[in-house]
Structure 1
Amino acid sequence: EPPSSEDLDPSPHTDAPPDRATCPTPSSMKSQQIQEALADAGIPAVFTGGQGIFSSPAASAWLGLLDAVLDPRLPRLLQLSESPLIGWTPQRLARALDDDRFGLMALIKLVREALETTGPTAAFELLAARTELVPRLLSSTAAGERLLTDLRQVTERLDEAARVETLDLVALRGWLFENIGSAGNSPDDDAVRRLETDLPAVTIMTIHKAKGLQFPVVALPDMASRFVSVKPPDRLRRTLVHENGELVLDVFGDLDARRDDTKLAEEQAEDLRLLYVAATRAQSRVIGWWANTQRTTDSSPLHRLVASRSTQGQPPPVSIPAGRDPQGWLLDRRLVEVVSVPRAGGLLRAPAPAAPSIELVARVFHDTIDRGWARTSYTRLTSGAHEATGADPVPGGGDEPELDTSVLAPDHGHDSAIPDDATALAGLPGGTQFGSLVHSVLEQVDPASEQLDSELTSAAQQMLARWPVSDVPAATLASGLAAVVRTSLGELTDGRSLADLGAGNRLTELEFELPMGSPGPRHTLADLAALWSDPALVPADDPLAGYGPVLSRSAVSGEQLAGFLTGSIDVLLRVPARPSEAPTRTGPRFVVLDYKTNRLPVAPGEQLGSRHYTPEAMRAAMIAAHYPLQALLYTVAAHRFLQRTVRGYRPESHLRAVGYLFVRGMTGSPSEADATRLPGVFIWHPRAALIEAASQLLAGDRRQ
């Protein structure tokens, strides 16, 4: 950046903009002292570097708040009351009545509720509103803006930790305590303290931090002060010194005065090197301050440099008496100007800014929150459709609504006896809890295990403790799920079962989060529904060809596809080639599987059996529950995953089909006479063109 006229102005009193000046200092402590002095004088300044956010008073204040939330006894609450989060003064604490203390207890209770239900950010905003934290901090001290910035940064870090690591209050307090304990050793860039202002300000940093940087103006207020003790060393010390041109570590095994002089000379040589680094950061101008003091001037690097009479190229002495008149320094006055500044009484303050010539008014924000841009899922997208039809969507995010018996129930008579084709799972209860139970057991067990039955029983017992469902014996559940994994999946797997393929060929609970939409016009579910009306994408003989009109007429057809789509694929199954197929196959094929615990509707008094899970009945159930939409969305997610993980991936070759496994209808038969009519196994072959068109639409591209 070229220098400005203010930077080159030789007058020592030039009012240069603050953001054109930096102040390199020998240590973080000096930096903070200078920042506080500038703030007291009304000059904006920021300190870049130094302690991390977890070494700040804000982190300690948050730790005190969490301690009080977890242990709201009166002594701890009174201790918290003096923290910046509450802001009581010692005088107010001394005068506090019972009502004040009960009010503080009630506030901490509200903060705890906010922490548990919404998170640290909501708790901080609640506390800030109730204690007038922002105006209180900004008006109380010059460092108030610094403290407020730190409090907000710690709050964001706590909120992120609670969300990402799913921490409860005890774990969150432990996380903060550990970070405070390890402060200074953290490689996390987010632990660096943020600047407290974006206004033009003097930049303060340590000299080491300033290496490699350049600034128009460099101010050196502390380079003419260096205290050197005249007392001999009283303890053993180690230091780095140069000996015969080599840098070595002297462990100082004795208290030799000559070696201590060597150490002192090394330190003072380093002082000169630091002065050189600091001064050469300037592009246009360096300003240094010198004062004649009794003990700190003689050995200071700036004084030794400007007052030295050493010949060119020789280092100055380690100490020069400071009584010499500054006007007698041997300096090139064409480059260096020495100006005597009279001692000022009282605290110097920056001149007040001129009153604005226009009337100031509050800024009006015109932007609005885009509520169409959201993080959504298949369940959330279709929840309105189930409500509109009177179906009962499973609470808690389930995707297996009760189906309308008037639409789907075939008439198989009214025999209430248990049918011969009843599976072990057919008579078990339903609901979200049961669905989660089935999924967790199937995920735990390797279907190819030689001890499959015993492992299923053990997993069922273990998962029933986590997902308790009444009237579900572990043995019955294990027997039913053994039938599921031993049932042939027909053309999905070339006649093989899950037990034949084993856990080595599957990815379970494959989570995804896909970006949707674009800055332009947004798509809706109606646009996805239109894909089913294109015979080039969904031919007439496709079992789900009739779903498009159902979705377009539903109450959710206007749902926007903008934001992020999340979900979890039950199983992405790899189907390896059989030995006889290897020469003609380009690699493994993949199948998307989804377990369903739905009970298909039956006639009154009739018992559910595998005969009810025909392709026609499952197709009707799929469309009624909007499962074709789920199948397409999850297939797009698998398609994008395989694009990035399979070399030479082509959807028409590698993404074979989608299988919906209605587990209550699966009999455990390793093969069926008619491979196209497998009870409980619904098979869909979406065309590659449909998958790619849906993927483009979700990404925001409109089909021409």
Structure 2
Amino acid sequence: CVADIHQTLLDARAGTAILRGRPVQPGDIAVLVRSHREATLVQRALAAVGIPAVAAGKQSLFSTSEARDLRALLLALLQPADEGRLRAALATVLLGQRASAIASMEREGDLQRAFQAQLLHWRERWQRGGPFAVVADVCAAQGERLLALIDGERRLTNYLQLGELLQEASAQALGMHGLLDWLQGQMANADQNDEQQLLRLESDARRVQIITLHKSKGLEYPLVYLPFVGIDGGAPNNAAHCTVHVGGERQLHWKLDKDEAWDAASGQRDREQRAEDARLLYVGLTRAEHALWIAIGDLAGLGRTRLAPLLGDLQGLRAHADVHIDDSEPVLRLPQLPVEQEGELPAVRGLTRRVPHDWWVYSFTQLAHADAGNDIEAAATELPSPAADEPAGAELPLEPALPEPAATEAAPLDPRFMGSRFGNVLHEALENVDFAAWGGWTPDQAAPDGQAELLRKALHDEGYADEDLDDGVAVLVPLVGHTLTVALPEGGALHSLGEGERRAEIEFHFAIEPTAVPALLQLLHAHGISSARRGFGLRRRLEGLMTGKIDLTYVRDGRWYVLDYKSNRLPGYSPDLLQIAMRHSEYDLQALIYTVALHRWLRFRLGGAYDYVRDMGGIRYLFCRGLDGNGNGVHVDRFAPALVDGLDALFAGGDAAHAELVARAIGARA
């Protein structure tokens, strides 16, 4: 098979193997096999003589040697001072150190220290950027060596795919030890039938296609090779069980003894297998468009195969120009197929654009947590959550000079249902309950039909124990009920909003051009926003993307509103106290960012038909623990047009850039 493909490609380069008026290419050739093991054998044999091939078999990514290599690297990163782990990692194909270099570490202390310093660098890189950052760096550094291997592209593809999966798993805050446990668990339970674990194909451009007979059904290829259809190993069947089909159903039979039942079942299994072999042979024989190559000769069990009855008239078969029956002796050694060059390689482009150091993906939480000793990068390592801005403890302190009125909640707070964890539950509940179902709810009533189950699910998904769910539902019912039935300043309540009038958890991303922090603070302070702030960490300017999620965006009487739910516990919920709470936690800055996001979106979607003064209704912050129907617990504001336009202009790169963006948006809509 390999020798014939090799010769065909040599003839193509000499101009004597022509297909459709052009020389035969590797991509015109398909090798059909029965199993992944056979596919691997063919791919390695082709690669050994320089013929590129891609195999489309099924194999779990976690059962590959590349998974073992990354496990060795992770073990070394956990303990960089452990010489045994260091040597094991250096010996992997990924790092590819020679045995002589590893052995010389005994005598050359500087070499060992250099390797350990590299591990420490990768460990820090892992902690700052995640596992994929390290895997990508290593693959980039070792790429030339890896791609020079016979199966180098396959290995490189596997390393990068594993790096992506490790990065996804790291989002669960497992830590390096937890990530090692996760990887080892995946390796121990590797499943080739799990779509998430299947190998990603290498580039198949101009490569020989190696595909299983099952996968090839319904497909056609110009040139088809069948190297294994004439082989039947004939190994004795020692299986302790077998599966047969009876009456359209699958039946499992166990070999308890050599009795008639087992003989009948195993005999039926053998007949079904022979019928399946015949079907697969038919598939293989009918896939070729122009030519078919079949291997016969001194092969194990050729007489027992389904191919054997078709070989009665070999001379007649050989008379067909498009069928090649090969019974020649295998070629033990073939020369490398010369690498084909397609003209001169273009010069490598030089890097002229500098990525700004200050470019970042910002959020309100990162900005609010950034101060002179805590830069934005540090805040960015915190996991985002719907209630990431809620206090971790029970209390939000207010200005000491302000007398503390009694809390307005009817019952003392249960410490189980406080802080950001319960805030996440409340956000989840309000995202998924049926607003309209709560329209007739009154205090001291149970949840409407079908709503308690949604509240229980929100608690369960956040990790609350089963024995706490009933108590949690009892706390959630009045919070959700008051939130959805409290009167809003523009009239009505949330429960009266139709599905088309509201959207929950709108995620936004908008660009921030280089924005000087002093200019930003000057604008904010001029309008009473974040008055106590003197900077955002150590940065002198902000640049990148602003991202966030708005709890609820709704429209009433043609005006748009930004609404945010808060589960903070305050000493009181009167408008004056809410104003202090908004300033203290910088929720006024959050509300402004959300308003600018909605402002930009409406301007883009509506173009010249949008007007902030006419169409923006303002912000509504509902402090759910203090809603009582008398105006308490509801913070209402509407930012001045000069503030919204000014911040939008700053983020757009200044007044000129802002005007250009508006003109582009209006032109695009027109």
TM, length-normalised to structure 1: 0.56
The answer to whether 1:492 aligns with 2:489 is: yes
CA distance in 1, matches of 2:581, 2:277: 83
Query: What does residue 207 of structure 1 align with?
Result: 213
- Give the drift of 1:238: 2.8
Higher Rg of the two aligned structures: 1
| Deviation string, structure 1 residues 259-283 (Cα, Å, up to 9, x no partner) | 6776555534432221111122222
CA distance in 2, matches of 1:216, 1:699: 55
- Give the drift of 1:187: 3.5
- Give the drift of 1:524: 10
The answer to whether 1:363 aligns with 2:348 is: yes
CA distance in 2, matches of 1:290, 1:147: 33
CA distance in 2, matches of 1:196, 1:237: 37
Mapping for residues 460-471 of structure 1, pairs under 5 Å: none
The answer to whether 1:178 aligns with 2:185 is: yes
Amino acid of the structure 2 residue aligned with 1:204: I
Q: How many residues align?
A: 527
Amino acid of the structure 2 residue aligned with 1:684: R
**From 31, 53, 59, the counterpart of 2:39:** 31
| Deviation string, structure 1 residues 224-247 (Cα, Å, up to 9, x no partner) | 222225x7x66765353899x999
Query: What does residue 279 of structure 2 align with?
Result: 273
Mapping for residues 631-650 of structure 1, pairs under 5 Å: 632-633=595-596
Amino acid of the structure 1 residue aligned with 2:157: T
The answer as to whether partners of 2:146 and 2:153 remain within 8 angstroms in 1 is yes
- Give the drift of 1:628: 7.0
- Residue identity over aligned pairs, in percent, reads 23
Mapping for residues 149-164 of structure 1, pairs under 5 Å: 149-163=157-171
- Give the drift of 1:33: 0.5
Query: What does residue 286 of structure 1 align with?
Result: 292
Query: What does residue 630 of structure 1 align with?
Result: 593
**From 105, 116, 133, the counterpart of 1:122:** 133
- Give the drift of 1:635: 5.6
- Give the drift of 1:364: 1.8
**From 616, 619, 622, the counterpart of 1:658:** 619
CA distance in 1, matches of 2:377, 2:85: 44
CA distance in 2, matches of 1:271, 1:288: 16
**What secondary structure is seen at the aligned counterpart in 1 of 2:563?**
strand
Query: What does residue 462 of structure 1 align with?
Result: none
Cα 1:172/1:333, change in 2 over 3 Å: same
- Give the drift of 1:211: 1.8
Query: What does residue 684 of structure 1 align with?
Result: 638
Cα 1:291/1:629, change in 2 over 3 Å: same
- Give the drift of 1:155: 1.0
Amino acid of the structure 2 residue aligned with 1:170: H
Query: What does residue 320 of structure 1 align with?
Result: none
CA distance in 2, matches of 1:182, 1:70: 23
CA distance in 1, matches of 2:587, 2:129: 35
The answer to whether 1:97 aligns with 2:106 is: yes
Query: What does residue 333 of structure 1 align with?
Result: 319
Query: What does residue 547 of structure 2 align with?
Result: 565
The answer to whether 1:224 aligns with 2:230 is: yes
The answer as to whether partners of 1:24 and 1:207 remain within 8 angstroms in 2 is yes
- Give the drift of 1:145: 2.3
- Give the drift of 1:183: 1.9
**From 169, 173, 183, the counterpart of 2:176:** 169
- Give the drift of 1:424: 5.9
Query: What does residue 305 of structure 2 align with?
Result: 300
Mapping for residues 462-541 of structure 1, pairs under 5 Å: 492=489, 512-516=506-510
- Give the drift of 1:125: 4.1
The answer as to whether partners of 1:23 and 1:204 remain within 8 angstroms in 2 is yes
Query: What does residue 90 of structure 2 align with?
Result: 81
Unaligned regions of 5+ residues in structure 2, if any? 1-10, 381-387, 391-399, 408-417, 431-441, 445-478, 496-503, 569-573, 604-611, 649-657
Cα 1:76/1:224, change in 2 over 3 Å: same
The answer as to whether partners of 1:47 and 1:203 remain within 8 angstroms in 2 is yes
The answer to whether 1:40 aligns with 2:40 is: no
Amino acid of the structure 1 residue aligned with 2:45: A
Indicate the structure with greater helix content.
Answer: 2
**What secondary structure is seen at the aligned counterpart in 2 of 1:224?**
coil
CA distance in 2, matches of 1:368, 1:395: 26
CA distance in 2, matches of 1:258, 1:439: 65
Amino acid of the structure 1 residue aligned with 2:115: L
Unaligned regions of 5+ residues in structure 1, if any? 310-325, 401-417, 427-436, 451-481, 502-509, 530-543, 575-584, 598-609, 641-650
**What secondary structure is seen at the aligned counterpart in 1 of 2:219?**
coil
**From 141, 145, 152, the counterpart of 2:153:** 145
| Deviation string, structure 1 residues 607-650 (Cα, Å, up to 9, x no partner) | xxx998899x999999997677335236669999xxxxxxxxxx
- Give the drift of 1:136: 2.8
The answer as to whether partners of 1:619 and 1:682 remain within 8 angstroms in 2 is no
Amino acid of the structure 1 residue aligned with 2:41: Q
**What secondary structure is seen at the aligned counterpart in 2 of 1:85?**
coil
**From 289, 308, 333, the counterpart of 1:347:** 333
Cα 1:525/1:148, change in 2 over 3 Å: closer
The answer as to whether partners of 1:224 and 1:296 remain within 8 angstroms in 2 is yes
Cα 1:204/1:376, change in 2 over 3 Å: same
**From 121, 130, 149, the counterpart of 1:110:** 121
Over the residues paired in the alignment, what is the CA RMSD in angstroms?
6.4
CA distance in 1, matches of 2:102, 2:135: 22
Amino acid of the structure 1 residue aligned with 2:70: W
| Deviation string, structure 1 residues 511-558 (Cα, Å, up to 9, x no partner) | 5422447xxxx99999xx9xxxxxxxxxxxxxx9x969x9xxxx99xx
Query: What does residue 666 of structure 2 align with?
Result: 702
CA distance in 1, matches of 2:33, 2:491: 74
The answer as to whether partners of 2:295 and 2:325 remain within 8 angstroms in 1 is no
CA distance in 1, matches of 2:24, 2:41: 22
CA distance in 1, matches of 2:566, 2:377: 15
- Give the drift of 1:134: 2.1
CA distance in 2, matches of 1:116, 1:213: 47
The answer as to whether partners of 2:17 and 2:23 remain within 8 angstroms in 1 is no
